[in-house]
Amino acid sequence: MPGLLFDTLRGTNGSRRPVWLMRQAGRYLPEYRELRARKGGFLPLVYDSEAAAEITLQPLRRFGFDGAILFSDILIVPYAMGQDLEFLAGEGPRMSPRLVDHALSALESVPERLSPIYETVRLVRAALTPEQTMLGFAGSPWTIATYMVAGEGSRDQHETRAYAYRDRGAFQAIIDAVVATTVDYLEGQVIVIPAHFTRCHGPSPCTRIHSLSDFLSRTPQKPCHAACPLRLYRAGSSRAADRHA
């Protein structure tokens, strides 16, 4: 560490282009499917630090990638904020209670739910060569809020958009809480951070841009983040590229 990919992101390397894939760890690998079958599901894998570290490292062993992307899930953040999380076979994640029906203030924070993720990071970093870079990730505030409000994902986020228009104050409180938890979560990772800004079909461009801009402005203020390049994946939000540069 920090490795070739880290150096390239900081503009200090010119020897060759590093290679990594955003979804390089996962179900297309037979070794992953075998491990998941033994552990019994996705969330048990995420919360077994040794298993999650093994999955993070599997594609590096097979393909020699330059970056190891943390095996976890963006919904670990609202899970640590006090919502329940489960992954249903063939249906995806479900969160409860849904904030369209319950107040954010009713949630009781469970920060220790992040501890196994930090242990996964420690195990992976210890296993990497000096030329390999560890990448963590977190979801955008809007992405996470859509799951917290509706309890599940959807193509158009209709329920969340309606809620955001109906009660702007309550929705902004959710966004603010997600930003604060995410910044602390990334502090615990202290690595190159690809922030996934997906689910961009929100109430308005202004709402989406403001929530991400707040997140981006606060993240580098942490001393441990200042030296880490922030990589942003912004599917569907190219109109805001100049604001996030």
Strand, helix or coil at 94?
Answer: strand
Domains belonging to the chain, first-starting first, are: 70-244 (3.20.20.210)
- Inter-residue contact 216 to 227 (CB < 8 Å): no
The more confident residue out of 41 and 32 is: 32
Q: What is the pLDDT of residue 60?
A: 95
Spatial separation of the C-alpha atoms in residues 57 and 127, rounded to whole Å? 8
Catalytic (active-site) positions:
23, 27, 36, 73, 147
- Percentage, residues of the chain above pLDDT 70: 76
pLDDT of 181 > 80? The answer is: yes
Mean pLDDT of the chain: 82
How far apart CA 163 and CA 104 sit, in angstroms, is 13
CB atoms within 10 A of CB 202: 22
∠ CA 43-49-51, nearest 5°, is 75
3-state SS class at 61: helix
- pLDDT for 129-154, tens place per residue? 988 988 888 888 888 999 999 999 88
pTM for the complete prediction?
Answer: 0.82
pLDDT in the model for residue 12: 80
Q: Can you give the C-alpha Rg of the chain in angstroms?
A: 18
